[in-house]
Amino acid sequence: PGMDEQLRHRREWESKLRLAVQENQFQLYYQPLMTTASKTIHSFEALLRWQLPEGELVSPQQFIPLAEETGLIVPIGDWVLQEACLEASTWPGDVGVAVNVSAIQFRHGRLPESVAKALSLSGLDPKRLEVEITESVLINDHNDALDQLHCLKELGVRIALDDFGTGYSSLSYLRRFPFDKLKMDKSFVQNLDQADSMAIVSTIANLGKCMGITTTAEGIETEEQLSCVEGEGFSQIQGYLYGRPMPADQVVLQHFGATRVRERDCTRQ
Ligand code: C2E
Ligand code: MG
Ligand code: MG
């Protein structure tokens, strides 16, 4: 009976998610990434939210695994890329946007085409787009994923390795692909009082420095955490201390001091 219930629950959420794709019940929130030295905004990370018809916001941690299992992450991921690039193309100067992509999007084999389409529809300079991947992209079938990563690089897009230091992340990935950025997982910053976390934070900062790769410390919530990662030499910081993820309109109001210029409902392709 327990398994039966689980299956019923999964089917119910799967059909809700299919409907969400058809009806585009998704939104992107944006969280600032700051340049440590100047304390200016370098870019914003686009973070997916699913708004149920009842109004409740579902976190990506709850629905991305199901979207991946069902393959729905492919159309959802295409929408995320297009929406994020369109939004960023309205931002001033060279403020960039970072988009998370799933290993399943690589397995599908047409991520470079999706990225190229999002760039051409929005007119966004490829230098302003950063694609964030996790090591799961490289674990299986890594040759094809590597080819796609090289294609993305050729488009002029930057590639970041997210959640670095957790999961199965292996240092050998750093020799297989010239990543532009390492994003240290927030769990290390959250346990800075433990000597081993401090040693890892310091080592990741040095690794980035020695390899000439930008380093970002995620999950900065306090001044103490900020001064620690600043002292270690992280190039960029991201966390609630500087800004929580917020809707696009709020980004424009809070950070660019302007009202919206974009029609919101002509973005779906
Ligand atoms: P991530 O890419 O590592 O994103 C960082 C997560 O940490 C975000 O959670 C963000 O809201 C949260 N965060 C940022 N600063 C702080 C802080 O100071 N303290 C704490 N406690 N948390 C902080 P969120 O938005 O729930 O996203 C969770 C994960 O879902 C992301 O982790 C990413 O792996 C995935 N995700 C989000 N959007 C997408 C998407 O469009 N596509 C794919 N494939 N995955 C996505
Ligand atoms: Mg990320
Ligand atoms: Mg992360």
From the number of C-beta atoms within 10 Å of its C-beta (0-12, 13-18, 19+), residue 179 rates as: buried
Pick the residue whose CA is nearest to atom 46 on ligand 1.
100
pLDDT per residue rounded down to tens, the chain (269 residues): 888 999 999 999 999 999 999 999 999 999 999 999 999 999 999 999 999 999 999 999 999 999 999 999 999 999 999 999 999 999 998 999 999 999 999 999 899 999 999 999 999 999 999 999 998 888 876 669 999 999 999 999 999 999 999 887 788 889 989 999 999 999 999 998 888 999 999 999 999 999 999 999 999 999 999 999 999 999 999 999 999 999 999 999 998 876 665 655 444 44
C-alpha 98 – ligand 2 centre gap (Å):
8
Pick the residue whose CA is nearest to atom 25 on ligand 1.
47
Alpha carbon distance, N-terminus to C-terminus of the chain: 43
Torsion sign over Cα 159, 163, 166, 167: negative
Pick the residue whose CA is nearest to atom 20 on ligand 1.
219
Cβ of residue 168 lying under 6 Å from some atom of ligand 1: no
Cβ of residue 83 lying under 6 Å from some atom of ligand 1: no
